[in-house]
Amino acid sequence: MRWAIVSDIHANLEALEAVLADLQRERPEALVCLGDFVGYGASPNECIARLRPGLAAAVAGNHDFAAVGRARLGSFSGDAATAARWTGTQLTPEHRDYLLSLPLTVRWRGTLLVHASPALPESWAYVLSPLDAEEELEAFDEALGFIGHSHYPGAFIRDGAGVIHYTREAAIAIQPGCRYLVNVPSVGQPRDGDARAGYLIVDEEARALRQVRVLYDVGGAMRRIRDAGLPRFLSERLMAGE
């Protein structure tokens, strides 16, 4: 089976539409989401309405829980907290209930799906180094774990000898005896210097993972953020992809 993973949409409808259009071309058999449907961007209801019907599985992100009052804003930057409060005022009751209903982890086709940290999902810890990854890989048994949260795509690979390697290659071959913690590209707020929207394809038969990046109407998403009265920085960072 071939399936796709999206993550960190962040209420960016323009980016989501471009990704969904590209998925029409790729035709994966299923789509799953690693959370952060909302936060930062100006189209929270539109993004949930558009994405939810097509999802086979989804987990909650910290911005999803923050917008509905289930996560504290203490660790948020000023702009992120402003956007979370604004999102909370915008969400329809149905979408609010949906975000509240999302689990922190899901086992899907023999892999682990979690927004941030497999070991402590609700700590929302970042996995940025091989040392972080080593601890996280201890916390689950599956050969493959998928995370979002950092908006910085890449993969930590533990080989048969227990050594952790890091790669930012877009294409990864799944090797027997290795375990993988894969950071999926962000749809709606990339931070790796590439402003394009991203997602990941998992090809079980080919034993391969592939990041896909897609051009989208960045200007449209920026305008919507400005028109909503959200902090200017949240608009500008989309152009830089940072």
For Zn ion, the closer CB: 157 or 181: 181
Asked if 136 touches Zn ion (CB under 5 A), the answer is no
Distance CA(240)–CA(78), nearest Å, equals 20
What does the block give as tokens for 35?
A: 């959370």
Asked if 22 touches Zn ion (CB under 5 A), the answer is no
DSSP state of 230: -
Give min distance, CB of 21 to Zn ion, in A.
Answer: 22
For Zn ion, the closer CB: 14 or 36: 36
What is the layout of strands, in order, in the sheet containing 111-114? 105-108, 111-114, 144-147, 179-183, 154-158, 164-167
Among 5, 6, 8, 150, contact with Zn ion (rule: CB under 5 A): 8
For Zn ion, the closer CB: 194 or 203: 194
Distance CA(232)–CA(78), nearest Å, equals 12
Q: Of the ranges 28-36, 94-102, 170-178, 212-220, which one interacts with Zn ion (CB under 5 A)? A: 28-36
Distance CA(204)–CA(3), nearest Å, equals 8
Q: How many helices (H) and strands (E) does the chain have?
A: 8, 12
Site size toward Zn ion, by CB under 5 A = 2
Following DSSP, what letter does each residue of 172-203 receive, concatenated?
A: EEPPTT-EEEEEPPPSS---SS--SEEEEEEE
Asked if 36 touches Zn ion (CB under 5 A), the answer is yes
Asked if 192 touches Zn ion (CB under 5 A), the answer is no
Q: Of the ranges 4-12, 25-33, 89-97, 201-209, which one interacts with Zn ion (CB under 5 A)? A: 4-12
The percent helix, strand, coil of the chain (3-state, each to 5) is 35, 20, 45
Q: Of the ranges 6-14, 20-28, 41-49, 165-173, which one interacts with Zn ion (CB under 5 A)? A: 6-14
Q: Of the ranges 35-43, 92-100, 173-181, 197-205, which one interacts with Zn ion (CB under 5 A)? A: 35-43
Asked if 64 touches Zn ion (CB under 5 A), the answer is no
What is the binding site for Zn ion (CB under 5 A)?
A: 8, 36
